[in-house]
Structure formats: structure tokens, C-alpha cells
Amino acid sequence: MDIRIFPNHEAMTAAAADAVAGVITRKPDALICLAAGHTPVDLMKRLVVHAREGKFPKDRFRFISLDEWVGLGPKDSGSCIHDVGKYFLDDMGLERGARMFFFDGLAKDMQAQIDGAKAFLAAHGPIDVIVLGIGMNGHIGFNEVGSAFDSDVRVLPLDETSKTVGAKYFDTPRTLESGITIGMRQILEAKKAFLLASSAKKADIVRQALKDPPTERVPASVLQKHPAATAFLDAGAAAKLNG
Ligand code: GLP
């Protein structure tokens, strides 16, 4: 696994955005998958600027969302569908159309959401580049602690850590019980996987994910098994890699 360390979040984000833009430039109909959460927001904003400047074609790439809070929808600030729209698609003038798949956290039939994601991946996959954040417990997407390395797209209950930390995304208290996510299998099948982490508060879990032997107790450690994974870290997140 390639580990790239940058002096700060801004430099880390710039490099990761350039790498994503490069994938789309080489393959304009690439399938990309971006995590929501706070870490990739500046990457999305940078991609918008790149697209406006014509640095990569914006009209053909395909998109699939990484995960979603079950029970939240496009009007809920903090949901994946809302935040990817706000920071990425809307500012590029892109509609959520047939070349994009978003999990609908409000759907009554979650199995149909799982089937929809799988059908989209069967038609357009594998993912060309997947951009992941890392939860404080090591989750990627909503692949929580204990997720099998061959797990598929699915709904699963959220860890207490994810529920507690997740409150940071919402202005008002929310009931956060379960999530729907792209599975570890799809992450391993992605042609490129980028893990982004910023700030010293992630340093412990980043060390466990990148330096300790891979274990299902630390979901992000699956990336050590990925043939083309890159970790983009700021100095804070990388601080314990040699400890
Ligand atoms: C969230 C999401 C993940 C995200 C992670 C880290 O709960 N399920 O997709 O990558 O936690 O989020 P942040 O970047 O805000 O630390």
C-alpha cells in the first residue's frame, strides 16, 4: 500500500483531488465513488474547480454513493445524498441522473436499494476510483468493526462509536441506528482505492489500519490487501505511523 504524507489537510486534499481528476481524464466515463463525511469535502470542492477550469471532463463520469444513513434523505444536511450534491454535483451543474446511483436512506424497501446498487455495479463496474474516509473505529463506508473482508452491499447496524461520532454531522439530534453501504468486496474490486485521513485524532486508528496486520476488527486494514491502494494523510493523521 502506498502511503503519502502531506504537511497539512489542504496539501493532502489537493493531491488526492489531482489523482481523482487524473482517473477521469484518462477514462471520461470512469465510475467514481466518493465518501461523504467531513474529510473529503475539500476534495469535492477542488474537483468542482478543476471541472470548471476544464481540467477533467465532467459530462460522462459515473457516480455511485459509498454509503447512507438509513432514515435520512436528500433534504437532510449530513446525509451522503445531500452533501455530495451540495459540495460536488450542484456546483458542477450536474443532475442526479441515470449515470449516478445514490442510496435512498428513506426507502421502505432497503433490499431494493441493495439490488439497485448491485445492478448499477454490474452494468458499470467495477469502480475505477473509490475515495474513502476512516471512522474513529476504523470503519470504511459503513463497513463496521467485524465486517468480513468479502462482505457485499448491505444494511447493517451502526456501532455505538459511529452513532456518537455521527452526531457531528447534524444540527438537530437524529436517530442513527443503521446504515447501507458498499461492501468490502466492492472496495477490494475497485481499480484504485484512496483512503483520506486528516488530523491527530485519527492517528491511532490510522496506525492500526495501515501498520498492524489486517484484521476484521479494523475494517480499513482491508486496504493492505488491495492491489492499488493509496493512503493520503496529513501530518497529524500520520503522526503515529512510526510509533
Ligand atoms: C462516516 C461515514 C464514512 C466516513 C467516516 C469518516 O460515518 N460513514 O463514509 O468516511 O464516517 O468521516 P469523517 O471524514 O467526517 O471523519
Residue nearest to atom 12 of ligand 1 (CA): 37
CA-nearest residue, atom 3 of ligand 1: 141
pLDDT at residue 242, rounded to an integer: 86
230 lines ligand 1 (CB under 6 A): no
Burial (CB count within 10 angstroms: exposed 0-12, middle 13-18, buried 19+), residue 145:
middle
Q: 3-state DSSP helix/strand/coil percent for the chain, to nearest 5?
A: 40, 20, 45
State the chain's mean pLDDT as an integer. Answer: 96
pLDDT value at residue 11: 98
Range 80-105 average pLDDT: 94
Beta carbons of 83 and 77 less than 8 angstroms apart = yes
Can you tell me which atom of ligand 1 is nearest the CA of 36?
Answer: 9
**What pLDDT is stored for residue 154 in this prediction?**
98
Q: Does the CB atom of residue 194 touch ligand 1 within 6 A?
A: no
CA gap 50, 57 in Å, rounded = 9
The mean pLDDT of 212-240, rounded to a whole number, is 98
Judge whether residue 96 has pLDDT over 90: no
Say what the pLDDT of residue 71 is.
96
pLDDT digits (tens, 9 = 90+) for 135-168: 999 999 999 999 999 999 999 999 999 999 999 9
Kindly report, residue by residue over 36-73, the tens digit of the pLDDT: 999 999 999 999 999 999 999 999 999 999 999 999 99
Contact (Cβ atoms closer than 8 angstroms) between residue 179 and residue 80? no
Find the length of the chain.
243
Distance CA 21, CA 131 (A): 12
Task: Tell how far the Cα of 135 is from the centroid of ligand 1, in angstroms.
Answer: 5
The residues with which 33 forms a beta bridge, in sequence order, are: 64, 130
pLDDT at res. 174: 87
Name the residue at shortest CA distance from atom 10 of ligand 1: 133
pLDDT tier, 104 (very low <50, low <70, confident <90, very high otherwise): very high
Q: Distance between CA atoms of 68 and 180, rounded to whole angstroms? A: 5
Note the pLDDT of residue 175. Answer: 87
Mean pLDDT of 78-85: 94
Secondary structure class of 54 (helix, strand, coil):
coil
Q: What is the CA radius of gyration of the chain?
A: 16
Tell me, in angstroms, the distance from the centre of ligand 1 to residue 207's CA: 17
Ligand 1 atom closest to 40 (CA) = 14
Which pLDDT value is given to residue 98?
87
pLDDT of residue 243: 65
Residue 2: how many CB atoms within 10 A of its CB?
9
Identify the three-state secondary structure at position 160: helix
Q: Is the predicted pLDDT of residue 131 greater than 90, yes or no?
A: yes
Mean pLDDT of 94-103: 92
The pLDDT score that the predictor gives to residue 236 is 98
Residues 36 and 131: their CA atoms lie apart, in Å, by: 9
Task: Flag whether pLDDT at 171 surpasses 90.
Answer: no
Residue 83 C-alpha to ligand 1 middle, in angstroms?
12
Please indicate whether residue 67, judged by its CB atom, sits closer than 6 Å to ligand 1.
yes
